[in-house]
Amino acid sequence: MLAVKRSSNTNQGVSIFNLTMEDWKNARSVVGPSITRSVTVEIPKVTWEDIGGLKELKKKLQQAVEWPIKHFAAFSRLGISPVHGILLHGPPGCSKTTLAEAAAHAAQASFFSLSGAELYSMYVGEGEALLRNTFQRARLAAPTIIFFDEADVVAAKRGGDSSGNITK
């Protein structure tokens, strides 16, 4: 539209205009891909400085999450394949979610959080649909971190009887 407005050449009702690379770059910055319009990209506001202590764990998360995203070209050049998943485990309240959000913020990656309880539904296929839609939205908003919280809800304890007691 900028090229049309800029042009004043009209020949028998037909407008003639020159489209430049600058016009293309300007249009791309304004419009964006239509497929991603329905996906909201949310980057958490939590930073590494918001987390007290855990210095060694933060360093490992930076190396595993932040570096492969920020320095993708270097990883490719060196032939290093980045990790595709990380398991954070610990008791409730030990900052697993906060650490994942800080990693997403540092890498400028979108963040999707799913609770294990959300995956259960009384309707067949509803949990699977939620999982499928989450991964579809994550692909559109890449780079993305998908955080599965309360994963222990999904799988029952192994080696126990029906009363929940562990058998040998």
Over residues 109-166, the pLDDT tens digits come to: 888 888 887 877 767 888 888 888 888 888 888 888 899 888 777 666 666 555 555 5
Examine the pLDDT at 10 and tell me if it is beyond 80: no
Residue 153, pLDDT score: 72
Which residue from 112, 117, 123 is spatially nearest to 151, judged by alpha carbons? 117
pLDDT digits (tens, 9 = 90+) for 22-76: 887 887 777 766 655 555 667 888 888 888 888 999 999 999 998 988 888 898 8
Q: Where in the sequence is the domain holding 12, given as residue range(s)?
A: 2-32
- Looking at the structure of the chain, the number of domains it has is 2
Rounded Cα distance between 44 and 137, Å, is: 16
Tell whether 62 and 108 lie within a shared domain: yes
Whether residue 167 lies inside any domain: the answer is no
User: What helix, strand, coil percent values describe the chain, rounded to 5?
Assistant: 45, 10, 40
Q: How much is the average pLDDT of 87-107?
A: 89
Tell whether 98 and 134 lie within a shared domain: yes
Rounded Cα distance between 112 and 127, Å, is: 15
Tokens at residue 11, please?
A: 């020949």
Whether residue 75 lies inside any domain: the answer is yes
Residue 126, pLDDT score: 85
Examine the pLDDT at 15 and tell me if it is beyond 80: no
Tell whether 20 and 42 lie within a shared domain: no
Whether residue 165 lies inside any domain: the answer is no
Tell whether 56 and 126 lie within a shared domain: yes
Whether residue 160 lies inside any domain: the answer is no
> Which run of H or of E encompasses 100?
helix 96-107
Model pTM above 0.85: no
Tell whether 28 and 42 lie within a shared domain: no
